[in-house]
Amino acid sequence: MTIDARPRVVIGVGGGIAAYKACELVRRFTESGHDVTVVPTAAALEFVGAATWAALSGKPVAADVWRDVHEVPHVRIGQEADLVVVAPATADLMARAAHGLADDLLTNTLLTARCPVVFAPAMHTEMWEHAATRANVATLRSRGAVVVEPAEGRLTGADSGKGRLPEPDELFQVATDIMARGERGLDLAGRHVVVSAGGTREYLDPVRFLGNRSSGRQGYALARAAVSRGAEVTLVSANVSLADPAGVKVVRVETTGQLRDAVVSSAASADAVVMAAAPADYRPTTVSDRKIKKAADGSAPGLELTQNPDILREISTQRTRPEAVVVGFAAETGDDTGSVLDLARDKLARKGCDLLVVNDVSGGAVFGSADNQAVILSAGGDAVDVPLGSKAALAHVIWDQVARRFDR
């Protein structure tokens, strides 16, 4: 007899219109080698039928506790799970879970599960913001569940606002990250962290701008990793064309000035700020309101620049919360004045941050890549060498260093 060693994932489906999105989530888990059991509520089956869930998971589907009673499914499914993901989690379902009700197969499963449990809420904005829902969310989080913040966007009908189910691909990444962490758990639970990502633009005219090659991938990886560790995450995103990470509040900016304002405002209530964005050091002193035309004689227009605010130094030296941890990034190539690490150590001292993540970008390395390697310098003189690996892996090493400082 062979034993199925695949990770066992339970997908609970609440009775909301976003139930159709859970089909893609089931597919992602099954195609990545997980053993998937779908447990819908009776209301969810009004939106997506049992045949669909059975076809996607390869298993029979039931919503009540009376099917296959001899196998005790109301206990066994939760006991055997390595991860439970509820998507969509309606206001009603979270209320029942928070109060320990067990009136169907899914709520029984939630009571018997001893693995990580992730709720992905989806509902209208007014329901999400209601005091009862907020209290139920707080209760679930206090018991160790991860309740992913809903996304903003189009809801049912003509309504828009906060309450949209995050995209399945993003939910999948957060959920698998939570399962991979296992007993290391939610060490950022109850913390508010701010992450900046991308590269700013400084406009010359309505068409042209000064910019840089930052893709925002590392900042987005940091935001996803923080969600999977239980944090409330604000992501200040500068000109990034990536999908919004699940559970993250995204603030979009273009220029360095806008980035500075958003970061400083968010940092006032933050336990940690990670400046992974690449702000432009300079901006034009004047910006033309019309496209600058090419000169007939071949001459080039003069370009006068002025220095932009030093955001990292400002939030490091003028902290609203002295206990907050501030992390900077340094993309260096080395020159006649010193090596990459020499220049980085000078920057760490000059900026006043607690940690500095140093990337050697000689030859254009790192930019736009899925992988990264770095050295993390601390103000106390320590250095952590992170070998080449995924940007997600580096993100977790950075949060490990931040979490250690919370424990001091």
Q: Are 352 and 316 in contact (CB under 8 A)?
A: yes
Strands 282-284 and 202-203, bridge-based pairing: unpaired
Please tell me the distance from the alpha carbon of residue 158 to that of residue 347, in angstroms, as a whole number: 50
Please tell me the distance from the alpha carbon of residue 296 to that of residue 349, in angstroms, as a whole number: 49
Query: Which residue among 212, 239, 308, 359 is the active-site one?
Result: 212
- Its sign, for the CA torsion 219, 240, 250, 287, is positive
Please tell me the distance from the alpha carbon of residue 11 to that of residue 118, in angstroms, as a whole number: 10
Beta-strand ranges (E) seen in 303-370 are 305-307, 325-332, 355-360
Q: Are 63 and 105 in contact (CB under 8 A)?
A: yes
Contacts of 308 (CB under 8 A, 6+ apart): 202, 256, 257, 260, 279, 280, 281, 282, 283
Please tell me the distance from the alpha carbon of residue 249 to that of residue 226, in angstroms, as a whole number: 12
DSSP-assigned states of every residue in 148-172: PPPEEEE-STT-EEEEEPPPHHHHH
Cα distances from 65 to residues 40, 58, 96, 101, 335, in angstroms, run 12, 20, 16, 14, 69
Please tell me the distance from the alpha carbon of residue 10 to that of residue 86, in angstroms, as a whole number: 8
The Cα angle at residue 111 between residues 130 and 28, in degrees rounded to 5: 80
Measuring CA to CA, which residue among 381, 332, 336 is closest to residue 354? 381
Q: Are 97 and 118 in contact (CB under 8 A)?
A: no
Q: Are 148 and 119 in contact (CB under 8 A)?
A: yes
Active site residue 136: no
Active site residues: 212
